């Protein structure tokens, strides 16, 4: 297996630019998530990788071989799309063995391979069932086993979990990731679900409006978002508009220390994660006053909605975290915004 590389790849449909020129490397054996809101170009990018769509410009290579215009079936990539499109009148085993039997592999060998794959996806013993006798999660695993039957060089999945309920989806994300790691297969997953991307990916490609906003491992995307769009899209964030003056952040009349450097006098957008704000009275920099407007206990986290001197903000405490005097609704309090928690971005109108 080799790196899959995009050089200046873009795609337009008439006047619609679905994907702007992109340079990307999908590392061998890695799982990369293409993440972004609806219409940002994820599926179009995946379809170009699959050979189902030709790039308008640019080049796609696999291990140095130019595959830009190679037909989909010749690429030998495994694919699982939103609708698994299993054959309902075939058994589970026949579904998984399908690609092997039509390419001429003897039936007993294809069936043995199918049974092996069904064991891998924890469906050993389900080979004789019809598709209609399976749950959504089991069907999804059949689709994965079927895609893996040809020993694909690259595995492409487009929102494969979207039909599953939330609990099953989370279980399948973990299972799929463990399977992918054990097989070491280069995998690209399209999703609009940030938790799915964070759970499974070695690397996340965040897209919006056909552009790549950031490419980085999940933790870096979360803790060091490249811009306000990424900070907003991944996790919860409090945003404030202000200016950068004398090395500090000024929001209205409030002046805050921050660790980030920025262009003096420029308009900025400041992002602060809810779990990086503290409700306390410790003598420290960046303490601001606030009224508690709403409190909710979600079990694993307690959420405090505040109306502060810099605007509305949400603070989160994980269960078990120390919060000596829990404020209640209607109470006045102070909150502390540690300087290193302030992410500073340019405040530019996005096209
Ligand atoms: P979703 O999450 O809703 O599936 P996406 O991020 O996968 O969205 P794409 O399906 O890649 O987005 O679409 C990107 C843009 O290209 C959209 O504006 C879409 O309307 C447009 N587009 C996609 N396919 C075609 C097509 N065959 N003809 C014309 N426009 C298209």
Q: Are strands 16-26 and 4-13 parallel, antiparallel or unpaired?
A: antiparallel
3-state SS assignment for residue 231: helix
Test site for ligand 1: of 12, 17, 35, 41, most ligand atoms within 8 A of the Cβ: 41
Please tell me the predicted confidence (pLDDT) of residue 223.
92
What's the 12 CA to ligand 1 centre distance in angstroms? 10
192 lines ligand 1 (CB under 6 A): yes
38 lines ligand 1 (CB under 6 A): yes
What's the 45 CA to ligand 1 centre distance in angstroms? 10
193 lines ligand 1 (CB under 6 A): no
Tell which atom from ligand 1 comes closest to the C-alpha of 19.
14
What's the 41 CA to ligand 1 centre distance in angstroms? 6
13 lines ligand 1 (CB under 6 A): yes
Tell which atom from ligand 1 comes closest to the C-alpha of 46.
11
136 lines ligand 1 (CB under 6 A): no
- The owner of tokens 């200016």 is 243
Please tell me the predicted confidence (pLDDT) of residue 351.
46
What's the 13 CA to ligand 1 centre distance in angstroms? 9
16 lines ligand 1 (CB under 6 A): yes
Kindly report, residue by residue over 27-60, the tens digit of the pLDDT.
999 999 999 999 999 999 999 999 999 999 999 9
Residue 346: beta bridge partners?
A: 268
3-state SS assignment for residue 67: coil
Q: How far apart are CA 4 and CA 152, in angstroms?
A: 13
Please tell me the predicted confidence (pLDDT) of residue 1.
55
Residue nearest to atom 24 of ligand 1 (CA): 44
Count Cβ atoms below 10 Å from residue 143 Cβ, excluding itself. Answer: 24
Give the N- to C-terminal CA distance of the chain in Å, as an integer: 39
Please tell me the predicted confidence (pLDDT) of residue 349.
62
Residue nearest to atom 30 of ligand 1 (CA): 13
What's the 207 CA to ligand 1 centre distance in angstroms? 13
Please tell me the predicted confidence (pLDDT) of residue 230.
95
Test site for ligand 1: of 33, 37, 43, most ligand atoms within 8 A of the Cβ: 43
Residue nearest to atom 14 of ligand 1 (CA): 41
Q: Which DSSP letter does residue 124 get?
A: T
CB 235 within 8 A of CB 222: yes
Tell which atom from ligand 1 comes closest to the C-alpha of 53.
27
Tell which atom from ligand 1 comes closest to the C-alpha of 36.
6
Please tell me the predicted confidence (pLDDT) of residue 321.
82
Q: What would the two tokens of residue 27 be?
A: 């590392």
Residue nearest to atom 28 of ligand 1 (CA): 13
Q: How far is CA 147 from CA 98, 136, 143, 174, 303, in A?
A: 10, 17, 6, 18, 43
39 lines ligand 1 (CB under 6 A): yes
Q: Which residues of the chain have pLDDT under 50?
A: 351
Q: Which DSSP letter does residue 7 get?
A: E
What's the 44 CA to ligand 1 centre distance in angstroms? 6
Residue nearest to atom 18 of ligand 1 (CA): 39
Q: How far apart are CA 53 and CA 71, in angstroms?
A: 9
């Amino acid at each position: 297996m080799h790196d899959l590389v995009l050089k200046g790849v873009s795609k337009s449909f008439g006047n619609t630019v679905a994907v702007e020129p992109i340079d990307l490397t999908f590392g061998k054996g890695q799982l990369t998530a293409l993440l972004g809101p609806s219409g940002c170009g994820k599926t179009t990018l995946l379809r170009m990788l699959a050979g189902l769509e030709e790039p308008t410009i640019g080049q796609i290579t696999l291990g140095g071989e130019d595959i830009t215009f190679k037909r989909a079936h010749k690429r030998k990539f495994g694919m699982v799309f939103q609708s698994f499109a299993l054959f309902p009148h075939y058994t589970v085993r026949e579904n998984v063995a399908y690609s092997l039997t039509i390419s001429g592999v003897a039936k007993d060998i294809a069936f043995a391979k199918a049974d092996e794959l069904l064991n891998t996806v924890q469906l050993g013993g389900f080979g004789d069932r019809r598709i209609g006798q399976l749950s959504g999660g089991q069907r999804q695993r059949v689709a994965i086993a079927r895609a893996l039957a040809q020993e694909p060089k690259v595995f492409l999945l487009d929102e494969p979990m979207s039909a599953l309920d939330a609990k099953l989806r989370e279980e399948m994300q973990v299972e799929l990731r463990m399977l992918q790691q054990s097989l070491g297969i280069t995998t690209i997953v399209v999703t609009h679900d940030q938790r799915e991307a964070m759970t499974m990916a070695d690397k996340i490609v965040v897209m919006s409006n056909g552009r790549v906003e950031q490419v980085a491992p999940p933790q870096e995307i979360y803790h060091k978002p490249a811009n306000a769009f990424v900070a907003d899209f991944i996790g919860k964030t409090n945003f404030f508009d202000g200016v950068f003056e004398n090395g500090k952040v000024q929001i209205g009349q409030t002046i805050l220390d921050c660790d980030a450097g920025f262009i003096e006098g420029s308009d900025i957008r400041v992002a602060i994660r809810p779990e990086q704000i503290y409700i306390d009275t410790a003598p420290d920099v960046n303490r601001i006053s606030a009224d508690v407007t709403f409190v909710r206990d979600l079990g694993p986290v307690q959420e405090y909605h505040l109306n502060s001197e810099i605007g509305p903000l949400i603070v989160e405490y994980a269960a078990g975290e120390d919060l000596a005097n829990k404020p209640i609704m209607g109470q006045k309090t102070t909150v502390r915004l540690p300087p290193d928690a302030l992410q500073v971005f340019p405040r530019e109108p996005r096209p």
